[in-house]
A and B are shown apart, each in its own frame.
Chain A
Amino acid sequence: KNEVEQSPQNLTAQEGEFITINCSYSVGISALHWLQQHPGGGIVSLFMLSSGKKKHGRLIATINIQEKHSSLHITASHPRDSAVYICAVIAGGGADGLTFGKGTHLIIQP
């Protein structure tokens, strides 16, 4: 069974700071997702990646398959980035469902 660990659990930063959220998993995967959950509960998919790096606006996600590690970076952070960021993986071997981390609660102060 895959264990997904995220760090930090909570992060408070000032507007404009560069943010890094880390995710580690215990066994090989087919893909890794970064998701954003707002206070109302809704979940939005940010990235799906299986290798390398992806960028969307101020968000960058990287994955190192050998080290079983991924990072989500936010450049020029803004209060509207405040949310819970969740790492989730799909195991190899034909699995469908995502295994989720506990999430990182990010607060960006103006």
Chain B
Amino acid sequence: EPEVTQTPSHQVTQMGQEVILRCVPISNHLYFYWYRQILGQKVEFLVSFYNNEISEKSEIFDDQFSVERPDGSNFTLKIRSTKLEDSAMYFCASSPSGRVSYEQYFGPGTRLTVT
């Protein structure tokens, strides 16, 4: 069964460094998402991406964040200058088509630790 994959599974970085989290969505899916979950808290929406542009973003997704689909398979989340509070589990998800009519399929997550 097709699945969303994410790399790395765990990333440790120093405050102020740039990180890139990578996702490979399911191949025929058209909508892509990033979510994050700070330890012990609920999952939060960051951004959605469709047709090579941001479709919607939350107030968390400030200028420090960017997303890109550099080729036909990868979907990346970049954090330019990491802060301690960026430490969280980051989940990528993809959906086949349409905004609300379909389930979202989640990757296993990347645990980001900022020291």
Contact = CB atoms under 8 A, between A and B. Distances in A.
Contact of A30 (B31, B35, B56, B100): B100
Contacts of B106: 35, 42-45
B56 A95 contact: yes
A39 interface: no
Given A33-B104, A86-B43, A103-B42, A94 B99 contact: yes
Contacts of A7: none
A4 to B, nearest CB: 8
Contacts of B56: 95-97
Interface residues of A, number: 25
Contact of A42 (B41, B50, B104, B108): B108
Majority secondary structure, B binding face? strand
Nearest to B48: A96
Interface in B4-31: 31
A95 B104 CA distance: 14
Interface string A66-110: 000000000000000000001010100011111111110000000
Contacts of B100: 30-31, 50, 90
Contact of A96 (B33, B89, B108): B33
Interface string B92-115: 000000011111111011010000
Interface string B29-63: 00101010100011111111010000110100000
A48 B103 contact: yes
B75 interface: no
Contacts of B44: 100
A44 B45 CA distance: 16
Closest 4 CB pairs of A and B: A97-B45, A96-B48, A30-B100, A43-B106
11 contacts: A31-B100, A31-B101, A40-B108, A41-B108, A42-B106, A45-B104, A48-B102, A90-B99, A96-B48, A96-B56, A98-B33
Interface of A: 30-31, 33, 35, 40-45, 48, 50, 86, 88, 90, 94-103
Interface of B: 31, 33, 35, 37, 41-48, 50, 55-56, 58, 89, 91, 99-106, 108-109, 111
